[in-house]
Amino acid sequence: MRAFRLVAVLFCAACSPVFGLPLRASVLRAPSCRCCAPSTGELTASGGRSRRSLLREQRRVVRELSDELAQLEVRGPQAVEFAEELFTYGVRSAADLSAVPSRVLDAVGIVGQERTRLLAFSRLAAMERAAPVLRSASSAVDAAVASSGIADDDDEPAEGVRQESFIIEQVQDGVRVDAALSALLPPLSRTYFGSIAVDGLVQLNGETVKKSARVAVGDQLSVRLRPERELTLVAEAIPLSPLYEDADCIVIDKQPGLVVHPAPGHWNGTLVNGLLFRMRVQQAAAAGVAPTTTDLLPDVSGTGLRPGIVHRLDKQTSGALVAAKTARAQRALLAAFAERRVWKVYLAVCVGDPGARSAVDVAVGRDPTDRLRMAVRSEEEGGRSALSVVHRLATDGRISLVAVLIRTGRTHQIRVHLEHLGHPLLGDEVYGDQNWNRLEIKAASRPLLHARALRFAHPVTGQVVHVVAPCPADIRAYATRLSGVAPGEVDAWVTERIDTLLAPTLVGFKY
């Protein structure tokens, strides 16, 4: 076997037929071997890439291929070994495996159930390639550029770059350049404008500045917006845990750390990518072939970035999240959330004892000094009404487990309201108590917030759907510590406590 592998490494597609290895050029794009490849000097002289550049490209492809294999449950070291071997045979993607001859897979060592699983994925991926690709018309940056409406002038930026200019007002006084721009040009992120500034595309009063520069009232802030690469929404094999699913909607128990939908800085690896994969597999299984349309999930917003999404959870928040599978369902669910016809309860671990019941009815808006934060703001200051009712479930006087019923769904609402109440969320680096966060860092490595239960009218049948997301391990540990209930009995205990305390809120609730 070793001799066979060595031959495959030393001889390219032009030579391989001599050794009985007829390669399909459309799939197996083997690099030229030493017998056919030009020298490094020839590559450089002819405008080609240097040997170092080619090696760098090879490492990149092998790394991406090994990552694909790892996502398909091939163990780390084995995934790297397979990727290196497959690369020598011209394989560049796991989707190419279905066209690889059996003797090549034998030589690489892909056999048994592992081969069956990888080939099944490869065939599905090949069918996806044949179907139209899900794309947005452009990225968020492209949309901002397209809508800028800037007239041509003598100082027109280079192709693909457009300029925006602003006069700084009081609300941005003293703010960093990257934060000011992200506030002035939503939904573009602070990270994006930081990279723009590094490239010298941001000017303050006519002078190029760093992202950390501060703006003042009356300053002229200009930025040249650089379109990002076109965003492609791809189906990714991301593990999802459905709590409820039918032909119209699905409720996922979102794990902490998972971003809900693509956005600047998170173009893939999101819950949306996982939903697309799930829908692709379901439709392929039902029809026997991959779907031939891109309508896997509805996107009535028209952005192309949030198919199926009707509400969101923060990246580190776990728990129940609803998504729509049809346009009719998405429109109905969006209306239900907007009209406050969804009953939502969260579990949280907070510092101190907030009392048996506390209602927080204060408006929430963007923090004027830090655009990444939200804050208590009056409606005159741009705040939006927000109501949270906090019910204590268990406490030791120092830390409490609470259930929070929210009537509105403002960004960071519970986190801001608990901070305002004087009992911040444990593990919250933005709104929390840093001393407590340090003390509890081993047990509270994230903001301890969990979307526990949802009740809503089914978007088609109208029947009330009630879903409960089990307590994640970190919150279960605190519940056990604070209540004395055994870990295996925590979920039943929490459900009983919430049902008892919140039963009056269900009387007359309009779904």
Residue 466 CA: distances (Å) to CA of 236, 328, 344, 461: 28, 20, 10, 14
Q: How far apart are CA 296 and CA 289, in angstroms?
A: 14
- Beta-sheet pairing, 318-324 with 449-457: parallel
Q: How far apart are CA 420 and CA 241, in angstroms?
A: 33
Q: What angle do CA 250, 252, 253 make, to 5 degrees?
A: 155
Amino acid identity for residue 121 in this structure: F
The H-or-E segment that residue 321 falls in is strand 318-324
- Beta-sheet pairing, 220-225 with 242-245: unpaired
Helices (H), 288-377: 327-338
Q: How far apart are CA 197 and CA 201, in angstroms?
A: 5
The 8-class DSSP code of residue 167 comes to E
CA neighbor of 412 nearest in space, from 434, 384, 452, 435: 384
Q: How far apart are CA 113 and CA 288, in angstroms?
A: 21
Residue 174 CA: distances (Å) to CA of 167, 222, 224, 326: 13, 16, 22, 46
Decide if 314 is catalytic: yes
- Beta-sheet pairing, 399-406 with 318-324: unpaired
122 is written with which tokens? 């490869």
Residue in the block written with tokens 């301890």? 448
Q: How far apart are CA 101 and CA 23, in angstroms?
A: 9
Q: Which of 142, 219, 314, 474 is catalytic?
A: 314
Q: How far apart are CA 351 and CA 444, in angstroms?
A: 12
CA neighbor of 215 nearest in space, from 430, 382, 368, 378: 368
The 8-class DSSP code of residue 304 comes to S
Per-state percent for the chain, helix, strand, coil, to nearest 5: 35, 20, 45
| Three-state secondary structure readout of 187-241 | CCCHHHHHHHHHCCCEEECCEECCCCCECCCCCEEEEEECCCCCCECCCCCCCCC
Residues serving a catalytic function are: 314
